[in-house]
Structure formats: structure tokens, C-alpha cells
Amino acid sequence: MSEAIIDVKDLKVAYGKNEVLHGVSLAFPAGDLVALVGPSGCGKSTFLRSLNRMNDEVGNVNIQGTIKFKGQDIYADGSDLVALRSAIGMVFQQPVPFPFSIYDNVAYGLRVAGYTEREYLDQRVEESLRQAAIWDEVKDDLKKSALALSGGQQQRVCIARQLAVRPQVILLDEPTSALDPISSSEIEETLLTLKRDYTLIMVTHNLQQASRISDRTAFFLNGNLVEYGRTEEMFLRPQQEVTSEYLNGRFG
């Protein structure tokens, strides 16, 4: 396994007295697409949101353990959250375009970071939309509201918005679950292209999707990491009974 870009050790997350994660340790190799799978309520999304401190926004949360990004503890005192979330971006289950034009959606993070030169913004917007495989569909309508796009197009614009700030890792929380099959397929093709240049960590309920596009798969159950390994090995030779039961639909 190549060097880990994110290394999680003994992560415990509790909301009040309810402990959702019970000491999860997991390392993510740079350049891989890793799928996090498991039944609803098993802690997948909580784990994902811990990786760029999105759980900090939740009240009454208690986080223990360590998460290192490129060797640096992201929970250390004085950590720059803006820089962290630029380096580790997030794409949500429901597409969340801002009520701006397509262009302004993609340029948003760049402007927040202080970039104002029009030529540079134009270049980064086009590059990001191309990477998200939607440039040809919107290049003549960049002033159009992103809210007027289809769900699949909105999600790809949201991906482009993350790409514009040149992250190193992209977190995806069930990015296709709200989309129709055609749009889901388009997002999958986009992710397969993106994993050449980025580390992708994706929560999905769709085991077929995980088997199609991920390099590694992590199975969660009841707040614990049950198995983790290369996807083709996990699906062909499940190593624990609970994984076999999960694959057979016992956990839904």
C-alpha cells in the first residue's frame, strides 16, 4: 500500500452520551478511491465528516483519537480550518449549488481565497468544469443559474466547485443517491477520471457501485470498522461472516 495521505487512529465520536464511532483506525493511500459501506446508522457519514472536521459544526460532539493529513494532526490547536477544507473538500448527498450563476458557483472558493484576476478565474472555472465532465454542456450558459440545471448537472457543478481550489482529497457523502440512473452513471464516470489525480473517499449504500469504481472498500457496522482491503479481494473472498451476510442483504 502506498503512503497514507490520511491516517486515522482510534477515532471515537460521540454526540452527547451516544457514541457513534467506537475506535476506528483506517489509513487512506494517496491516489485511491475508497468506498465506505455499511447499513444506515453504522457511522459511515460521521466518520467521513470527521476527516475535514465538519463534525465540529455539530453541537455537543466529543471527538477522541487522531486524524493526520500528510502527517499533521488536523485536530491540533491552531489548525487552519479554511486551509484544511480547501485541501480536503466535501461533496454532499443532495446537490447544493449556490443561488448564483454556474460561473460564480465554480469561482466562489477562489474568490474567498482572494483571487480576483478575471483571466485566472476564467481559466480555473473552465479547467474545473472540464474535470467534472460538464464543460461541454454548460460552456455557452455560464451566466445561467446553477439552480436551473438537472440534478446530475448540479452535482457535477458542485464537484467542479471543489476542484477549483485544487484540493488533494475529495470526500463524497453518497453523491449519487439522489440522482437517476443515467446521472449516477455520469457521476461514476467522472469519479473514475478524477481518481487519477485525487484521493477520493466516498460513502455509498450501493455495493455494486463500490465494486465498479473503488480501489478499496471499508465495511462499517454498529460504529466499528469490520473489514478493509482491496475491493476485488473483499468482494470475491469475504473474510468475515458479517461481510458475507452484508453482501447477501442481511443488513439492508
Domains of the chain: 4-247 (3.40.50.300)
| pLDDT value, residue 247 | 52
| pLDDT value, residue 58 | 82
**Cα atoms found within 13 Å of the Cα of residue 27, Cβ hemisphere only:** 9
| pLDDT value, residue 104 | 97
Q: How much is the pTM? A: 0.89
User: Among residues 179, 173, 17, 154, which one has the least CA distance to residue 91?
Assistant: 173
Could you give the CA distance from residue 99 to residue 92 in angstroms, rounded to a whole number?
Answer: 16
Phi, psi angles (nearest 5°) of residue 142:
-65, -20
* The three cell numbers locating residue 160: 467542479
| Mean pLDDT of successive 10-residue stretches along the chain, which has 252 residues | 87 94 96 94 94 88 95 93 93 93 96 94 97 95 96 94 96 91 91 94 92 95 94 71 51 43
User: Among residues 232, 252, 250, which one has the least CA distance to residue 242?
Assistant: 250
| pLDDT value, residue 136 | 95
| pLDDT value, residue 2 | 62
| pLDDT value, residue 26 | 96
Strands 4-15 and 18-29: antiparallel
